[in-house]
Amino acid sequence: MNRPVDLSLTRRSALARAAGLGLSVSFLGRAAFAAGDGDLARRKLVVIVCRGGMDGLSVSPPVGDPDYAGLRKTIAIAPFDAPNGALKLDDTFGLHPSLKAVHRLALAGQARICPAVATPDRARSHFEAQDVLESGGSLVYGTPSGWLNRTLQALAPTRRVEALSVGVEAPLILRGPVHAASWSPGGLQGRDGRLPGILADLYAHDPLLGPALASGLQTQSMAKVASTLAMAQEQAETPGEAMDSMAAMTGKPAAANLGGNPQAVRAAGVTVAKFMTAENGPQIVAISVDNFDTHANQGAAQGLLANRLTYLDNLLDGLADGLGPDWNNTVVVAATEFGRTAHVNGTGGTDHGTASTALVLGGALKRRGIIGDWPTLQPAKLFESRDTAPTLDMRSLFKGVLVEHLGVERRTLDTAIFPDSASAAPATGVV
Amino acid sequence: MALANNSDLMAAIAVTRFGLGARPGEIDAAKSDPRGFLKAQIRADGAEQPQGDLKSSSDNLYVYAGLRKARQAAKAEDAADALKQVQQQIRGLVINEMAARGRLAAQTPNGFAERWTLFWSNHFTVSALKGTAAPVVGSFEREAIRPHVFGRFEDMLLASSRHPAMLLYLDQAQSAGPNSPAGQRRKSGLNENLGREILELHTVGIAAGYSQADVTEFARALTGWSVSRGRDAPIGQGDSGPLGAFMYRPYLHEPGVRQVMGRTYAQAGESQAGAVLHDLAGHPSTASHIAQKLARHFVADTPPPSLVAKLQTSFVQSGGRLDHLAQTLIDAPEAWQPDAAKFKTPYEFLVSSWRASGQGPDPSAPLKFVGSLAVMGQRPFSPDSPKGWSDEAVDWASSDGVVKRLAWAEQAGAAMAAQGLEPSETGKAALGARLTPAVATAIARAETRPEAFAILLMSPEFQRR
């Protein structure tokens, strides 16, 4: 691409994507590995927290399970051979018809499902369950920091590491002693006045504002680089599209944009990937995707949930594509705080449940079947007669990835990263 | 724990910590009796109402319904335009509400009463992010919250749980018992969203240890609590009462006796859920849940246990009287520690900046301040979950958050300079005895007036309360 890129425009547009799309991204660990770590130095991990309780029975519908259609009725995903049917993975499981990119990756051995995974929490409260998912504790409020932050501490006890979150709010998963910087669209244009210096003096003994301002100013240049790279790729692939996403700058609530502009969501995934592949880019990234709380009218092949899954699919597609050769060094885990009831409820939706599906993706996954066991949906097998029963502890899944992909020691995992979790053995054979 | 005991510092604390920040002269006005200054704002008729072109919930829902009808009638090729029109109208309604509420916060002499109101409004969160509830999130606060903020907690709980905004936001309006006539005909069934969030967020809290069975039983008791479709709905669908009014629909109600948190409810029909709400309002866990949240909001992210205990006792002994609770908070020495431990939310930061300038948000550009708040992560009336806005510094003092505040403070500083204000005087009026020598010096040494005002607004003292 030889066309010169107007920097102010590219920056605004790429930022606009993140702004209008209800997406917040967090980065951790710019220098988590030294060059001497060999292969490990190139490894990358992305954790996507799907908030609101993502319905596993729609993400990876077990259309081959004899009880599935009867439980789900109007919101059941149709069998493999029907129009708008599930995208086949094996005789039991398919993927939601909106998850086209994930299915393509799965057929290439680069995406797997973990269909009955749950955190140790059983209260069916969003807030408590998200807390347990992100803190890595065995119970709610067990630990005030996030497990990704503690992973970084464990990986690099003597090196200076940096953290960055994109989005105004800092998610629990990366809170902790390793200071997390953050960045989101908008904000400072050219910052070379006297004010930052004066404030830095006033904040010299302020433990909250001092570090926050310093790292906030540092992230500006990094954001500029990533946005420019993403814009360049985007313009090469879909000329004209970049301009359309300017509309997202107008500050519409995220919910208004659900699935509205798949290209812009995909471009957001590419932007994140360009952050990661930039020199000194982050190796550990956390992304939040909201709005999975489908109590009413969730739909089947189309509808509210399908729109959210289209969004997720485009984000993952953009990530995989934008990472390029580094896709082979990357593992992405998309997980949610809990699944939803096995039965459809009275308002065409589902209520808070227990186990759900996690998606695991990456260029170097092992080619095997589902991760964990399938408990089936037989009435006697349902957890408390209402939910998919958990067969795998969420911490086991995360620990398996940390052991096999990032080379974290088992003892550290059992005690520091996931406290008191020795009984939840790492799920092996994933990567 | 040192306590503030001189009247200068107490006046500054009364206006900036209990209130929404000082307007010029406000700290001086509080000096003779800081506690009395706050208590005078506790009024039996509740909080002030925002002024402006604001409609009732019913009228707001009619706007929505009328446009929706127009959209259905429109030809297929016009549907996108019609939809856009509906969205713009609703956006306009919500922007009006945001602007009116922003003006009130910036200008009211009753800053404590307004902060108290914002606390309760956030406790009973509804959000414009849910399309069906968006037209009525502003009227919810005016109708269900403001009249009750110094009345009984139970009355506010009932008003909230019966308001169309809450019934729509948490999917209650269509919920049907499996053994109700509607459930038997399989037209609809149970939705437990409202029941769960009333238990977890509005009343006893998750620490109370209720079970899934309690949630389900409460959701069954709530079936039938719904919203009127209005008299003029299409033939066969008309209801009594105006559109959006609370309506009990017997054919949705689950028959039978319910058990919730160890108590038995044999009432038939509408009064069954009312009886559960009555008991939840008086439950000891509700008192401790509210006491903890209130102390966290006013004093510190980790509040002194002795303060929590006092508030809890007040709530229990007064039968959930919120005026008593406010008196207890004002009387408690723990609430007057000199160190400001609370980091302002973006909304509090903007409101207190306007108050310092003696002006409100630019009335000709309501979108501008809404946009500023959206960029800082706190678009008014639009929290992203029923839990509402966070009340803790860890969620707001991110590096991005601070950089966004700095960008806004530069613009606000320029506007304050253009107003002709004097920076050092403004600093003294805004912070009173809380203004530190270091900040006063930095303001005095600033190169320009806009820079001086930006320093004031970004100072550690002004960022906290």
Q: B319-342 pLDDT, tens per residue?
A: 999 999 999 999 999 999 999 999
Confidence category of residue A231, pLDDT binned at 50, 70, 90? low
Element (H, E) at A248: none
Instruction: Determine contact, residues A353/A124, Cβ cutoff 8 Å.
Output: yes
What radius of gyration, in Å, describes the C-alpha atoms of chain B? 24
Please name the member of B176, B189, B397 whose beta carbon is closest to the beta carbon of A212: B397
> How far is Cα B113 from Cα B103, in angstroms, rounded to an integer?
15
Per DSSP, the residues of B123-156 read HT---TTSTTTGGGHHHHIIIIIGGGTTSBHHHH
Chain A positions touching B385 (Cβ under 8 A) are: 51-52, 126-127
| pLDDT of amino acid A118 | 97
Distance of CA B414 to the CA centre of its chain: 30
A297/B contact by beta carbon, under 8 A: no
Amino acid making up residue A192: D
The answer to whether A62 touches A377, Cβ cutoff 8 Å, is: yes
pLDDT band at residue A19 under the 50/70/90 scheme: very low
Query: How far is the C-alpha of A216 from the C-alpha of A354, rounded, in Å?
Result: 38
Q: CA angle at residue A144 from A142 to A148, to 5 degrees? A: 100
Q: What is the pLDDT of residue B270?
A: 96
- The mean pLDDT of B446-460, rounded to a whole number, is 93
Whole-number Å distance between alpha carbons of B19 and B32: 17
Please compute Rg for chain A using Cα positions.
Answer: 21
Minimal CA–CA distance to A98: which of A286, A262, A234? Answer: A262
How many CB atoms are closer than 10 A to CB B418? 10
Q: Do A295 and B191 touch (CB under 8 A)?
A: yes
Task: Please list every residue in chain A whose beta carbon sits closer than 8 Å to the beta carbon of residue B459.
Answer: 202
List, as ranges, residues 193-232 from A with C-beta within 8 Å of B.
193-196, 198-199, 201-203, 206, 208-209, 211-217, 219-220
In this structure, what DSSP letter does residue A1 have?
-
Residue type (1 letter), A179 = H
| Mean pLDDT computed over B354-382 | 87
Given an 8 Å threshold on Cβ–Cβ distance, is B343 in contact with A208?
A: yes
Q: Smallest CA–CA separation between B327 and chain A, in Å?
A: 31
Is the pLDDT at B407 greater than 80, yes or no?
yes
Contacts of residue A183, defined as CB under 8 A and 6 or more positions apart, other chains included, come to A164, A165, A166, A216, A219, A220, A222, A223, B399, B400
Q: Backbone dihedral region of B188: left (phi > 0), alpha (psi from -120 to 50 degrees) or beta?
A: beta
Confidence of residue A188 (pLDDT cuts 50, 70, 90): very low
Specify the pLDDT at position A168.
Answer: 55
Distance between CA atoms of residues B414 and B407, nearest Å:
11
Q: Which of A159-173, A241-255, A392-406 is most confident?
A: A392-406
Judge whether residue A141 has pLDDT over 60.
yes
B253 pLDDT higher than 90: yes
DSSP secondary structure string, A189-239? S---SSHHHHHHHHTTT-TTHHHHHHHHHHHHHHHHHHHHHHHHHHHHHST
A184, B404: Cβ pair inside 8 Å? yes
Give the pLDDT confidence score for residue B65 in this predicted structure: 82
Measure the CA–CA gap between B206 and B196, rounded to whole angstroms: 10
Structure confidence by residue, pLDDT tens digits, B156-171: 999 999 999 999 999 9
Q: Token pair for residue B335?
A: 């609430």
CA angle A414, A415, A419 (to 5 degrees): 95
Q: How far is A104 from chain B, CA to nearest CA, in Å?
A: 32
- The answer to whether A143 faces chain B, any CB pair under 8 Å, is no
Residue A268: per-residue pLDDT: 77
Question: Does the pLDDT at position A247 exceed 50?
Answer: no
Q: A403 with A133: CB under 8 angstroms?
A: no
- Give per-residue pLDDT as tens, A344-353: 998 899 999 9
| Residue B427: strand, helix, or coil | helix
**B193–A295 C-beta distance less than 8 A:** yes
**Contacting residues of A for B465, CB less than 8 Å apart:** none
Q: Which residues pair with A27 in a beta bridge?
A: A164, A285
Of A327, A335, A290, nearest to A311 by C-alpha is A290
Q: Residue A257's pLDDT is what?
A: 31
Q: What is this structure's pTM?
A: 0.75
Q: Which residues of B touch A165 (CB under 8 A)?
A: 398, 400
Provide mean pLDDT across the span A318-334: 95
Q: Are the C-beta atoms of B264 and B238 separated by less than 8 Å? A: no
pLDDT of residue B20: 98
Inspect the interface and report whether the beta carbons of A201 and B442 lie closer than 8 Å. yes
| CA–CA min distance A273, chain B (Å) | 20
Among A49, A71, A79, A62, which Cα is nearest to A312's?
A49
For chain B, the straight-line distance linking the first and the last C-alpha, in angstroms and rounded, comes to 17
**CB of A26 within 8 A of CB of A165?**
yes
Does A169 sit within 8 Å of B395, measured CB to CB? yes
In which band, very low, low, confident or very high, does the pLDDT at A254 lie, cut at 50, 70 and 90?
very low
Which sign does the torsion angle of CA A372, A378, A382, A387 carry?
Answer: positive
Q: Quick one: pLDDT at residue B303?
A: 97
Q: Distance (Å, rounded) from C-alpha A112 to C-alpha A371? A: 7
Q: How many CA atoms lie within 13 A of A297 on its CB side?
A: 9
Q: How far is CA A205 from the centre of its chain?
A: 35
Q: Find chain A residues with C-beta within 8 A of B458's C-beta.
A: 195, 199, 202
Judged by CB atoms within 8 Å, which residues 34-53 of A form the interface with B?
51-52
Mean pLDDT of A187-199: 66
Q: Summarize pLDDT for B117-127 with one digit per residue, the tens.
A: 999 999 999 99
Give chain B positions within 8 Å (CB) of A212. Answer: 397-399, 401-402
Determine, for residues A203 and B396 on separate chains, whether the beta-carbon distance falls below 8 Å: no
Determine the average pLDDT of the residues in A317-324: 94
Residue A116 CB-density burial (10 A; 0-12 exposed, 13-18 middle, 19+ buried) = buried
Q: Which residue has the tokens 């003294």?
A: B428
- Which residues neighbour A134 within 8 Å (Cβ) at sequence distance 6 or greater? A49, A146, A147, A171, A172, A173
Tokens of A98: 């909106």
- In this structure, the strands spanning A180-183 and A163-166 are parallel
Q: Give how far A408 is from chain B: nearest CA, Å.
A: 28
